[in-house]
Structures are given as structure tokens and as C-alpha cells.
Structure 1
Amino acid sequence: MELISFNHKLGIVCVILLVLNSALLCCFADSYTKSRASYYNTPDGYGNPWGACGYGEYGRTLSGGNVAAVSGSLWKGGSGCGACYQIRCKIGQYCDEDGTQVVVTDYGEGDRTDFIMTEHAFSNLARDSASSAKLKKYGVMDIEYKRVSCKYSKSNVLLKLHENSNNPYYFAILLLNVGGKCDVAAVQLWLEDKKEWSPLRRVYGTVFDYENPPGGKITLRIQMDCAERLVWEHPKKPIPSNWNAGQAYDTGLQF
């Protein structure tokens, strides 16, 4: 009887510890990190079409221009491209309580900053236009941020053929509208004659390429890093054999 009672109590303790551990992990994952942020100017206050992620014009206006360049720790060799962050500043009389959300489209190191935001995004940290003008005078200021899920409810993940692609000699792609909190870790191409997957090279940012790709339809798979859990995702359809630079294909995937 005592052994049964002991095992019962031990079981209860284990359950409590598991619940507490899960709660702590959730709280940690949802916590803010202290840092600093600045902003850069463009003629319209929106993004830079030459950002290091390779998004081009798409990256300039993505999320209504609420985009940012990030430091190396968030850039992660380019796999941080497309990540979404909630940012808020802490100057009570000027800062909006919720702050604003930005999408990573570029790499940039500042004065101990993790974010160099567009002027448009930086302004959205403020309570109102008058407060925005006050914040801009700081130039660089203390903020706190956390990773949040990107949401593209009206679009699946898109595979876009980079403008430098040249069928059939050079195949280069970039991934657009990647939702959730996952990073693109790798892309592979199926070689039918060898019955094996072959890796594409990450050229920079979110641009992957493959020299002398196989003829015919191109089948890809995408490896997503979701909180250190690697998952392979397969687009619903292959890229047709008549692919050309600039074309975008719906993967049928949502993350």
C-alpha cells in the first residue's frame, strides 16, 4: 500500500513539474528582449529595394513599409529574412503601448542596435504624429522586441524565379510570404536520374540558386527551422519546364 501511495504521489509531482516547465517555456518564448533601434530615410519613408534579403521592390512595400534591417544575431546568415518582430519603445509619454510589427528585409549594424527600421515603421512606435516627431529626434533609442508569427492570410508561400535566372542554364529562386515563426533553412532539388535530392546554394538572404538544373519540371522541397525543429515541406506542384525569370509560383503551402 505504501509503495502504491508513493508511486501515486510521484506521478502527481511529475505531472506538476511538466505543467510548470511548459508554462515557463511559453512565458520565455513570449517574453521581450531589450535592445536598441534606429531608422533610415528614403524618399517615401518605405523600405530599400536593394535590401540584402534580395526581395527587391516586394521588400520595399512589404507589410505597408513596416520593414527593418537587423543585426547579425537576427540576420542568421540570411535565414532570418522574412521574420516578423513586435517592437515597442519605452518612453511613456511618446510611445504606443503595443508598438509596431516589422518584417526583416535587410541586414544592418548600427550603434548597438538590433533594428534599423524604415522611417514609416519607426513612426508607428509613437502614440501620434506629434510623438513621432519627438521620437525621431532621438535617432537611436531603447526598445524591446519579440519574435511573432507572420500572417499572410490571403496568400500561400510563393516561389519566385529570380531576375537573373536563365532557363535552362541557371536557376535561382526566392521565397515570399513565408508565414508563421519558421526560418527557411535549406532548399533542395530532386534529380530524377540519380533518384536523390541535391541542395541549392544560398547565394545571399533568401535567394537560392542551382547551376545547370535538370531539364523538364523542377521538383523542390523546403526545409523549415521552426524553433530548432527542422521540417521538410513539399510544394504541391513542381515548377513547369518552361519557367522564366520573374515568374512566381504558388506552392500551396501555409506555415
Structure 2
Amino acid sequence: MDLFSSSSSLKKLFAIVFVAFAISIEFVAGYYRPSPWRYAHATFYGDETGSETMGGACGYGNLFNSGYGLDTAALSTTLFKDGYGCGQCFQIVCVNSKHCNYGRPSTVVTATNLCPPNWYQDSNNGGWCNPPRTHFDMAKPAFMKLAYWRAGIIPVAYRRVPCKRSGGMRFQFQGNSYWLLVFVMNVGGAGDIKSMAVKGSRTNWISMSHNWGASYQAFSSLYGQSLSFRVTSYTTGETVYAWNVAPANWNAGMTYKSGANFR
């Protein structure tokens, strides 16, 4: 056997393995760890159907279609962070109240909306979402998992937990051929987004600016190109690449699924 030829083949094998590993780590970031427990209060809005929770300040639209269902909450301004809190997951448990359900069960909710401040009410008497309070205005079905709904408001303990999602991130397109607005849903891990970039099949990476809620925009002519996205977590700073998410004939109003996600 030719030693040089064998060595060359071995080097090629190592190169292939390295490239495969590099690609794999682009798709799967490290696990997000739960945060320490903290204290806040929780109320609810809407009725048992959850119809009033649809839409919301994060831009997820119909929460059933988006995969979030009724285990959701609107966050006070302090937690919402101008939309960077969208998609975060919180484990919440009722504490120190006679209205807590038996056994004090916990539930996990996704942040899908903003609970705006009410400056006409005292922060301790109706203005529950006024800064600097941390407050959860939950969908009624989620609240009822914790306490009797007639309580109205309850003290809670909460912590950030990993968002357990099925499948990859979803990218809903709005805009036109010169302005791409993307709502990102089904984000795992920390659940939130700090920044995004888009790459057309004929362009380099183009930084996207934060629009509102969980949406990011690019003012570029990208129609007719397949699109890939680079997504960075607000909490962890980790980055995941979602390659070839949308085909070259993509259209506004469509939602495209990727195989990439945080965990």
C-alpha cells in the first residue's frame, strides 16, 4: 500500500468529518438552562375560549395555528423588553394564596403579548403592569390551571425555562419584493431573538432590523432567490443557521418551516 496515498485519504476523511460536524453545530445550539425562581403576580384576560388572546403584540396571529395554543401570557413592560421577550417560556406556580389550586400545580406559558401600563391606576391597585412591576396577564385557561379564576389576581413564583418545541423554527413572510418582513415562531431554547440576518442565493448576509414584536425586516430586493436565515438568541447570544428555508418563488403571506432550532 502506498503510504502517501493512504495518508492523503485519511486527511480527506478527517476533512469530511470536520465539515459534517461544523454543519451540525450550526443547526443545534446548546441547551438553555432554567433561571432562578423569582416572585411576581398574575391576572388573566379573556374567557375560556382564548379568543381575546389571539393576535397580540408579538405578531404571532392565530395562536392555535402558530402552535402556542392557550398556554400563553401577556408580559408587563419590564418583561416584554420592547418585544425581545416575545417567545420566552415561563414556569409559573401560585403561592401564598387561599385561591391556589390543590397541590399548587405549575404551568408553562409562552410570552405572546404585551400587558400595557395603566397610568390611571396605582401600581398596587389595578395598574398591575406598570413599570417596574413584573407581571403576567395570562390566558384564562392557563390561569385556571393555577388558581380559582374569581381570585382575579394571585401572587406567583416564576422562572424562565427552555421552550420545548416540535420541529424547527417557522418564518412567516410579509412585505413585498423590496421589503421583507419576517415573523419568527416556534423558537426553542430561550425562545427569544436578539438579531437576524437573511441571505439570498445570490447575496451575502444582510442584517435585518427589529420591527416590532417577533418580527425583523430587510429592505432589499430578494425575490427570485432562495432564502436562508441567521438567528441569534437575545438571552444566550447563541446563533443558529436555517439554510434554504424558502424557495426562490417565495411569496408574502406564506409560512416556511425550517429544520433548525435552539434547544
- Whether TM exceeds 0.5 here: the answer is yes
Tell me: CA distance 1:37–1:93, structure 2 relative to 1, closer, same or farther (3 Å): closer
Q: Which residue of 1 aligns with 2:7?
A: none
Deviations 1:31-87 (A, max 9, x none): 311111111114723552230000011368744301110012221221111111011
Deviations 1:67-112 (A, max 9, x none): 1100122212211111110111112563342321111000114414
Q: Which residue of 1 aligns with 2:104?
A: 97
Shift, 1:209, TM fit: 1.5
Shift, 1:169, TM fit: 2.7
Structure 1 regions of 5+ residues with no counterpart? 1-27, 127-131
Shift, 1:238, TM fit: 4.4
Q: Percent identity?
A: 29
Shift, 1:199, TM fit: 1.7
Q: Which residue of 1 aligns with 2:138?
A: 117
Q: Which residue of 2 aligns with 1:158?
A: 170
TM-score normalised by length of structure 2: 0.72
Please give the alpha-carbon distance, in whole angstroms, between the structure 1 residues aligned to 2:91 and 2:70.
Answer: 15
Please give the alpha-carbon distance, in whole angstroms, between the structure 2 residues aligned to 1:177 and 1:142.
Answer: 29
Please give the alpha-carbon distance, in whole angstroms, between the structure 1 residues aligned to 2:246 and 2:161.
Answer: 31
Shift, 1:192, TM fit: 7.2
Greater helix content: 1
Tell me: CA distance 1:182–1:41, structure 2 relative to 1, closer, same or farther (3 Å): closer
SS in 1 for 2:81: helix
Superposition pairs for residues 60-71 of structure 1, below 5 Å? Answer: 62-71=67-76
Equivalent pairs, count = 213
The one of 230, 247, 256 equivalent to 1:249 is 256
Q: Which residue of 1 aligns with 2:215?
A: 207
Tell me: CA distance 1:190–1:254, structure 2 relative to 1, closer, same or farther (3 Å): closer
Shift, 1:197, TM fit: 2.8
SS in 2 for 1:74: helix
Please give the alpha-carbon distance, in whole angstroms, between the structure 1 residues aligned to 2:151 and 2:255.
Answer: 41
Q: Which residue of 2 aligns with 1:80?
A: 85
Higher relative contact order (CA 8 A, sep 6+): 2
Q: CA RMSD in A?
A: 2.5
Q: Which residue of 1 aligns with 2:9?
A: none
Structure 2 regions of 5+ residues with no counterpart? 1-32, 117-126
Please give the alpha-carbon distance, in whole angstroms, between the structure 2 residues aligned to 1:78 and 1:59.
Answer: 20
Please give the alpha-carbon distance, in whole angstroms, between the structure 2 residues aligned to 1:79 and 1:236.
Answer: 23
Tell me: CA distance 1:31–1:224, structure 2 relative to 1, closer, same or farther (3 Å): closer
TM-score normalised by length of structure 1: 0.74
2:206 maps to 1:198: yes
Please give the alpha-carbon distance, in whole angstroms, between the structure 1 residues aligned to 2:228 and 2:69.
Answer: 32
